[in-house]
A and B are shown apart, each in its own frame.
Chain A
Amino acid sequence: MKNYIITILILFHVLGINAQCDAILNPPQSARLANYKMSLNLDHENKKSTGTQVITFKNHSPDTVHELRMYMYLNGFKNTYSTWIKGAEGNTFGQDLTSRKPEDWGWVEVLSIMDQSGNDLSSGKKYIHPDDDNEDDETVLLVPLQKPILPGETAEFSTTFESRLPRTIARSGWGHNDFFLWVHWYPKLGVWEQDIDGVWGWNCHQFMRQTEFYGEFGVYDVELTMSDHLVVGASGCLVSDTNNGNGTRTKVYRAEDVIDFAWAAYPHFDEIKDRWKHVEITMLSPPEHRSLQPRFIKVLKHSLEYLEKHVGTYPYNTITIMDPPLVGLRNGFMEYPTFSTGGSFYGFPKGIRTIESLIVHEFAHQYFMGIVANNEKEAPWLDEGFVTYFEDRIMEEYYGEQKSLIDLWGFKIGNAELSRAEYTSMDNHREAIVAQPGWKFKRYTKELVYSKTGTTFQSIRKMFGQETMDLLMRTYFDKYKFTHPRANDFLSIAKEVISERHGLEAGNNVESLLHQALYTTAVCDYAVKTVRTIETRTKQGLFGTRGGEEKKSEAKGVKSVIQVERKGDFIAPVEVEIYMASGEELIKKWDGTDFIKEYVLDGEVVSVHIDPKENLLLDIDLNNNSYTKENNKDPISKFSWKTSNWLQHIFQSLSFLM
C-alpha cells in the first residue's frame, strides 16, 4: 500500500500535476447559460496567442435565437478610431497614442466559427456598432446562425481565434520584461435577456471608456500553454500544472459560476499563498513590492470577513490579487471574477492607505458586478456605488473613522469623508443624474456614480441604522446573486425592507431619497438662516375704558425666533435640535419641504443644529447646518496662528535665495 502511494506521488510529481484547490461549487450557483472551454498557446515574444474555444450556450428564453453577438473588446485597443480610444479624448493615462508602432496595438479576431452541426458560420460574421455607429469600432461581432437556437435548446459553437495584446494602454496589455495581463482576450457572448419592454435580444454594447462589464454566468475551463519562465495567476482554480518538457508548461484552470476569465503572467512575480476560511488567497507581486504583501493580505481578509458578516458568504474557493510591477501599472486598479488587480509603489507609506482602499474596492466588486451581475454599462451605479459604500464601511471598520484613508503626521482623512467630498466638491452638482448609462457621462463619473451613490447609502445607513442597512444589502444579495438585477429591483427591495422595519413613512422617505439622489440633480443644502432674540414685555399700552389707567410693562420676557432654510431643491425630513439657555433641549421634526421654516420659542436659544447626527451626508455644506452664540473660537485662532507661522517659515526658507 505504502509503495502504491509513493508511486502515485512520484507520478504526480513527474507530471507536475498539483491539485491546487477545489474548483467544484456544489451545487451550481448560477444557471450556467454560457460556458467556455478554451485552449490557448501564448507566443510571449510576439505578445500573441492562438486559441480554440467551445462555447455552450443555453437559450433559456421563450424566443428563438437567430444570431450571436460577441464582445471583442480587445479591438478597443486596435487603433485610435475605436470607440474606447475616441471616448478617452486623448486622456489615456498621459500616453501619446499617435506615435505607437503597429506592433503596439492589440486585437482579437475570430478565424473560424462553426455550429455543432458543422456549419461554418464565419462568412456571415461582421462587426456592428449598435451604440454609436462608429464604423471603425470592432468591439461587437455579429454572427448569423444557420440553425437558430430554439427555446430551451442548448447549442455549441467551436471557434478558433487569435489575439494580440497591446502595449498597455489600459486594462489588457503587455509591458517589457514579459509582463502580461490578459483581460477581454477572447470572443465572449453578450447577455441574452429581455429588455425593459420585455423583448428578448442580445445585450451586447460596444466597448466604451467608462464602463465595461456585463456577462452571462457559466463555467470556464481554460488551458493555458506558455513558456515555463512565466509565473501565472488567473481567475478560478488551478486544476493542473504540467511541465511539457519542451520549455513550456500547461496550466489548466476552472472557474465556475463566473461572468469572465482573466489571467496574468510575469517571470518575476513573487507568489505567496494564504487562506481565509474556505478561500485560498494567492498574491502575486513583483519582488520590489514584497514588503507591501502583508498589507494586501490583511486588508483582503478584512474584506472577506466584513462582506461575509454584512452581505453574504463569498461563494468561491479562490481569490487572486495581482499587484502589477511598474511596467503594468496601467493594468491595475481593476476587477475580474476571483481575480483583482491592485496598484502600489515601492516604499508606499503605511499611513496612506490607498493600497488598502483599492483592494477593498476591487474585492467588493466580486460581490457587486461579479456575483450580483448588474449591467455595468447601463447602470454603473449598481455596482460602483455599492462598492464605494462597502469600501467606505470596511475601511472605517478596520482602520477607524476619519483616519481610515490617510493617517500621516497628524493629517487624517477618512475614506467615507473623501467619498462625500468628491461629490460635494464638484463645481457643478447638477452636471448629470447618477442613474444613467456609463457612456453618457462626459465627466464626473467618479464623483457621481461612485461617490454620490456611496454617500447616499451611507446616509441611509445613518438614518436607519447598520442592522437595517445590512438587512437591505443581504436581502438584495440573496435574491439576486448569480442573476442580472436592474435598478428597480434594488429600489423595490430598499423600500420594502425599510418599510417593514421602520414603517411605511420611512419606506416612502427612503424611496424619495433614492429617487432624488439617483434620478435627479437636486442639491441638498439645509442651513440655519437666522437666530434672533427678542425682548418682550408682558403688558404694554392702554387697558380698560377710555381714559383708564395706563399699564406699563411689569415684567420682561425673551423670545427666540429661529429661521431654518432649505437652500437646495433636495427635500428630506430632518431633525432640528435646539438648546435653550435654560438647559432645555428640544428636538423639532421638520419635513424639509418649506424653503423657510420658522420656530418661535419662549426663552433664549444657545444653539440650533439641523440634522445634528449628520445623517444626511448629501448635504453639500454641513458647516451651515448649525448656529451657536457661544462658540469657543480657539480653533479659529489656532488655524490663523498656524497660517501666520507657516508664512514666517516660507519667508525664512526663501531667504536662502537672497
Chain B
Amino acid sequence: MERIITAIKEAQSLWKIILCIYAFQFILASTIGLQMMQVLDASLGNSLSLEKLESGFDYTVFTDFVNVHGGSFSVLYGQMRWMVLTYLIFASLISTGIIYCLIHKSSQISDFFKGSLQMFFKLFIVDVVFAILILAIMAISFALTGMLFGIAPTSFDTELVFLRWTLLISIIALLLIFVLTLWKIHIKFNYIKSDQRIFNSIGSGFKSFWASKWRYIAYTFFFLIISLILITMNYAAGDLPLFPMIILIQFIALIKVFWRIVFYKVIGT
C-alpha cells in the first residue's frame, strides 16, 4: 500500500504530462463526437422524438434513426477504426514518455517528448511484438471458447461445464496477458534506465519481473479493479443532467490517465 501511496504522490507531480495526454485523447475523440453531433442534429434536430431521449435511451427512436441514417454511422465507424489504429502508435510514444519521466524524476513536458522520441523506434518494435502476442492469446482464447460453445450441446451434460472451462480459459488468458504486460513494462524501464541493448533488456526485464511476479500480478489486479470501478462510475454518470455529466465523465477520463501513471510507477520501480 505504501508503494501505491508513494506512486500516487509522484504521479501528482506529473500533472502537466497527465493533462497533455488527457487533452490529446480528448481532442482525438472529440473529432468523432462533433461529427456525431452534426449527424444527429441533421437527422433528429427538429424531430419531437428528441423529447423521448431526454429521459435516457429510447430503443424505438434509436432503431428508427439507425434504419434511416445508418449510413452516416458507417462513415463514422470507418473513421473510428483508423483513429484507433493511429492512436496505438501514439500510445507507444506516450508510455515511453511516461516511463522516461518516471525514471528521470522529471515533470517537464519537454522531457516527456524527448524521452518518447529518443526511445520510440526500438520500444515501438517491442510494443508491436508484445501487442501481437497479447492479441494472439486473446484470439486463441476466443477460438477455444467458441469451439467449446459449438460442441457444448452435444458434449457437455450442463452449461456449467462450459462456463467452468470458459472461466478457466479466461483466467489463464488474463494471467498470460498480465505477464506479457508486466514483462513489457520492465523491459521498457530497464532499457531506458540502463541504456542497455534491447535484447539484453528483454532478458533483464523478464528477470526483474519474475523475481516478484505474484506481487506484480496482485498489483495489476488491484489496478484493474479500480479501473473497472471508474468505468462503472462513468457509465452511471450518463444519467446525470448534461453539464454535471460532462464534468464527471471528463474527470474520470483524467483520473484514468493519472491511474495509469501510478500503475507504471508501482510496477516499474
Contact = CB atoms under 8 A, between A and B. Distances in A.
A636 B48 contact: no
A640 B246 CA distance: 11
Contacts of A177: 157
Given A424-B63, A637-B242, A644-B32, A651 B48 contact: no
B134 A657 contact: yes
A596 interface: no
Contacts of B114: none
Interface string A621-658: 11111111101111111111111110111111011111
B160 to A, nearest CB: 5
A637 B45 CA distance: 11
A203 interface: no
Contacts of B41: 633, 636
B60 interface: yes
Contacts of A647: 28-29, 32-33, 80, 83
Contacts of A121: none
B36 A402 contact: no
B256 interface: yes
Contacts of A327: 153-154, 156-157
B33 A424 contact: no
Interface residues of A, number: 67
A546 interface: no
A116 B37 CA distance: 79
Given A623-B65, A627-B46, A648-B26, A345 B159 contact: yes
A421 B48 contact: no
B176 to A, nearest CB: 13
A609 B47 CA distance: 9
Contacts of A424: 63-64, 67
Nearest to B87: A651
A134 to B, nearest CB: 28
B43 to A, nearest CB: 7
A288 B154 CA distance: 17
Given A421-B63, A648-B29, A326 B245 contact: no
A652 B36 contact: no
Contacts of B162: 326
A4 interface: no
A227 B66 CA distance: 55
Contacts of B135: 657
A176 B83 CA distance: 49
A412 B58 CA distance: 8
A607 B49 CA distance: 12
Contacts of A635: 50, 53-54
B88 A286 contact: no
A411 interface: yes
B82 interface: no
A641 B245 CA distance: 9
B53 A623 contact: no
B249 A330 contact: no
Contacts of A632: 50-51, 54
Interface in A4-43: none
Given A631-B50, A652-B253, A655-B260, A638 B245 contact: yes
A654 B53 contact: no
B249 A641 contact: yes
Chain B interface residue count: which class?
35 or more
B88 A326 contact: no
A244 B138 CA distance: 56
A655 B95 contact: yes
A346 interface: yes
B257 A640 contact: no
B32 A651 contact: no
Nearest to A619: B64
Question: Which one of B32, B152, B158, B253 has the highest number of Cβ atoms from chain A below 10 Å of its Cβ?
Answer: B158
Contacts of A622: 49, 60-61, 64
B88 A657 contact: yes
Contacts of A657: 88, 91, 127, 130-131, 134-135
Contacts of B152: 326
A329 B153 contact: yes
Interface string B198-232: 00000000000000000000000000000000010
Given A421-B60, A637-B242, A647-B80, A652 B157 contact: no
Given A634-B54, A640-B36, A326 B67 contact: no
A177 B155 CA distance: 10
A353 interface: no
Given A631-B45, A639-B40, A640-B34, A175 B68 contact: no
B93 to A, nearest CB: 9
A640 B37 contact: yes
A143 interface: no
A452 to B, nearest CB: 15
B110 interface: no
A409 interface: yes
B187 interface: no
19 contacts: A288-B159, A325-B158, A326-B153, A326-B157, A326-B162, A327-B154, A410-B56, A412-B59, A626-B47, A631-B50, A638-B53, A639-B53, A641-B33, A641-B249, A642-B249, A644-B33, A645-B253, A647-B83, A657-B135
Given A325-B157, A651-B28, 11 more contacts: A329-B153, A402-B58, A424-B67, A607-B48, A620-B64, A628-B47, A643-B32, A649-B231, A654-B87, A655-B95, A658-B89
Closest 8 CB pairs between A and B? A644-B33, A635-B53, A626-B48, A647-B29, A640-B37, A658-B91, A658-B92, A421-B63
